[in-house]
Chain A
Amino acid sequence: MSMKMSARGRIAATAGLGVAAALSLAACAPPGGSAGTGASSTPLATGTVKVGFIAPLSGPLAAVGAQFQQGWDYYWDQNGFTAGGVTIDVVGVEDDAADTQKATAAAQKLVEQDGAEILVGSIASNTATAISKYAADNEIVNIEPISASNDFTAENANDYTIRAGSQAATQTSYPGGEYAAKELGYKKALTLCTDYSYGWESCAGFAQGFTDNGGTVETQLWQPNGNTDFSALISQVVGSDADVIYFGTAGGAYGPNFLDSYLKAGGDVSKLFFNSSAADVATLQAATKAGYGDQIVGLYSSGYYAEGADAPEAAQEFVTSYLKDNGVIPGQYAAGGYFAASLLAKVFSEKGLVTGPDLVKTIQGFTFPDSIYGSVSWDSKNNQTSPVYIRQVEKHDDGQLYNDVVFTYDAVDQWNGRDEAKVIASHPFDKSNQYVK
């Protein structure tokens, strides 16, 4: 019986394979397919450009994804979907749930079903890389307004992906280290970042800026990614004799929870220096809500965006009207969405309808002088060159906390004054590889 059964099994399996192989070999291109490769998408001459938007609207990054989308929507609500003679048609908003498979499917849907010529998004570096790869393979422009991953505007740079709306992680945190060493005169630093690529790169930037300007990083602590309870490390942080404590994490519960534990353990806020997302508006609001808002006034951070006093004029206008309409101060995720929208509108109104690789080239040679980030331009690897603001938390007359600008580093690029090839050769930064060799 066993013999008979397995023989039958073999026959069926072989038959199945044979059918599949024969059909696929005999296959000619089905409708919509092309037997050749790389048929290019021709830009539309109608004056309408189709844009698809991808953000993590469910899953672990849903909260920041929603802010990102609100910022993006807010620009179009305020200014309409036309710029010069170009109509911007947002063909779809898709959720990637911070998952690469869903990000690829979202990109496929927007491009193949909805005809998008430009993909905007997403946030997490894995989804950003997946979308960037899909876009490059299919000659679709990809604008990355949030992701801070160093790679895709360095060794993995391609002709279709542009970072517009944020900076590389080290690019933003390097001036923080420089400021702490040079202007604040600190000599010894302790760093505490989340134990994954964004944390490694944030800490690497600060450590490099600090040591390049005469400081020494004595201790580097790493918080497991996803763990927002700092009680295990806090005594080491508070008990350290470092002059400055650098804290670099993504947005969310990290910043508020750390501040809470730090203050309860008797830590001194004037010693703290945060990266941009840890000191984002959401952290300040959580601090106010938890009742220790007044204690974090004076907290330093470095960011490519600032919402408080002495921020660029466009940012102040954006913050005022956004606060009036939505009842919340826009943080850097909303700012990223808003910036990407305003950039597209600005480019189309000045340069007319450009799509595909021409759009990328146009943006590369473009300067956006009066953006919410100040004057922004792009380098040859499609990365945003823009000011970095040293910010301090201040309580404004409306009773809310803001990040006020206390110092500005203009036109900061991703190499932070070092040799490009040397920096790329030192990538990727991780916890055992923090410095440029």
Chain B
Amino acid sequence: MTNPLTRATAVVRPATGLIPSLGGASRDRLTTTLQYVGLAVVLVLLVALPYLGLAPYYVNITTTTLCSALLAASVNFLLGQAGLVSMGQAGISTVAMYGVAWGFKQGWDLGGQLLLALVLTLVVSAIFGIVSMRTSGIYFMMVTLAAGMLVFGLAYSMSSITAADTGISVDRPGDLNSRFNYWQWYYLALAVFIVGTAILWVVSRSPFGASLRGIRDSESRMRSLGYNVAAYKVGAFMISGFVAGMAGVITLWNNKLVTSDSASITNSTLPIIVLVLGGVGTLLGPLVGAIVVTFFSIIMPSFFERWETLLGVVFILVIMFARAGIVGGLGRLYRWIRRRTGGSVRTPDVGTPVPTSNHRTTA
């Protein structure tokens, strides 16, 4: 039996990072440099993508990938920082989609559509947060699952507003509807993706993020230190929900359609599959996971009908051999190589305990 207090001190993990921590606890210069170089390469690749001679179709597929990656990133924030598995995230993103789509149907301008989406997203995120703030673990999963299903049910039954499973069609903003504008649309989606990811990253690096990690590692300890754990959870849900809403808006514009199925259980569990594949708690995990899932679910079916089986096999393999996901697994591989070659690497999972003085600045 471990004393929860001492255990908590030992496992305050480094902040969310790249492979696996970007400028986190590791004071190893080379590692840090490599991580920034890696991030820069990914960013440059993403920005230069339409110019790499790829067919427009593959640029479109990348846009689709960015949409699911951003939704996964919002789940990643809750899971990686606060240790909470949200099973209803597609419910929040769907609410944002309906906000824009309903505004569009009424003939509102873009600002009005986005404002409605923002208000709806924040209200629904707050509701999600409030109903789930006293729970954790499996109960949190069940409560968020139920809340997500509630959105699905409402979208299904309020068909005079939502048009149920037939859905509401919208136009993309600006003049980006035609397939010949694929690259402008890609850049818009990329910009939203980068902003969303940056928001989550900045919040993760803040004292607020540190407090969330404290809650993740020992809720009872944080409570005894005087933190209002429930309020932190609601706050985390609002931030995650905001980004999920951003993901919803670009997903809506990408498909130009929202239906009640957008909030289905499949769409809520998909970000978790993406995350487990990519690597929970890593900055690039959602993107890498989304690339893998998109490959199997969109590119593969043209060649092989049993793509679901293949994705399942890959999922099992990742869980068996790389429990930290692809990005996390790469990080471990890197550390293993460094150790073998005699480099000094700090143990990854036991970072420097965050000084309590930092916590004080948060409230």
Contact = CB atoms under 8 A, between A and B. Distances in A.
Contact of B167 (A33, A97, A129): A129
A112 B57 contact: yes
Interface string B301-328: 1100111100000000000000000000
Nearest to B177: A137
Contact of B165 (A33, A36, A126, A152): A126
A16 B23 contact: no
A100 B60 contact: no
B55 A32 contact: yes
Contacts of A130: 167, 255-257
B166 A151 contact: yes
Contact of B194 (A20, A95, A200, A225): A20
Contacts of A125: 165-167
A30 interface: yes
Interface stretch (A102-110, A344-352, A364-372): A102-110
A9 interface: yes
A57 B305 contact: yes
A27 interface: yes
Interface of B: 15, 23, 36, 39, 43-44, 46-48, 50-51, 53, 55-57, 60-61, 64, 156-157, 159-160, 163-167, 169, 171, 175, 177-183, 187, 190-191, 194-195, 198, 201-202, 205-207, 210, 251, 254-257, 259, 261-262, 266, 297-298, 301-302, 305-308, 354-355, 358, 361
Given A6-B205, A133-B169, A19 B43 contact: yes
Contact of B305 (A36, A95, A105, A129): A95
A105 B295 CA distance: 12
B56 A33 contact: yes
B53 A31 contact: yes
B53 A5 contact: no
A305 interface: no
Contact of A108 (B57, B163, B354, B355): B57
Chain A at the B interface: mostly helix, strand, loop or mixed?
Answer: helix
Name the 10 nearest CB pairs between A and B, nearest first: A30-B50, A24-B187, A13-B198, A9-B205, A126-B259, A430-B159, A112-B57, A137-B177, A95-B301, A34-B180
Contacts of A326: none
B323 to A, nearest CB: 27
Contact of A112 (B50, B179, B254): B179
A39 interface: yes
A113 B302 CA distance: 12
A170 to B, nearest CB: 13
A152 B206 CA distance: 49
B305 A24 contact: no
Contacts, number: 187
A403 B69 CA distance: 49
Contact of A433 (B43, B56, B160, B256): B160
Given A16-B198, A94-B301, A112 B60 contact: yes
A428 B181 contact: no
B165 A20 contact: no
A12 to B, nearest CB: 7
Interface in A1-48: 1-2, 5-6, 8-10, 12-13, 16-17, 19-21, 23-24, 27, 29-34, 36-39
21 contacts: A2-B358, A8-B23, A19-B44, A21-B191, A27-B187, A31-B53, A33-B180, A34-B180, A34-B181, A58-B307, A94-B301, A100-B255, A102-B298, A125-B166, A126-B257, A129-B166, A130-B256, A137-B178, A152-B166, A428-B159, A430-B159
A134 interface: yes
Contacts of B358: 2
Contact of A17 (B165, B194, B266): B194
A289 B258 CA distance: 40
Contacts of B256: 104, 130, 133-134, 137
Contact of A101 (B23, B201, B255, B307): B255
B301 A58 contact: yes
B53 A39 contact: no
A112 B180 CA distance: 10
A149 interface: yes
A156 B168 CA distance: 9
Contacts of B61: 105, 108
A363 interface: no
Given A8-B23, A105-B298, A129-B259, A428 B166 contact: yes
B166 A197 contact: yes
Given A16-B43, A27-B187, A200-B159, A92 B180 contact: no
A260 interface: no
Contacts of A31: 51, 53
A164 interface: no
Given A95-B301, A108-B60, A9 B166 contact: no
B191 A39 contact: no
A58 B191 contact: no
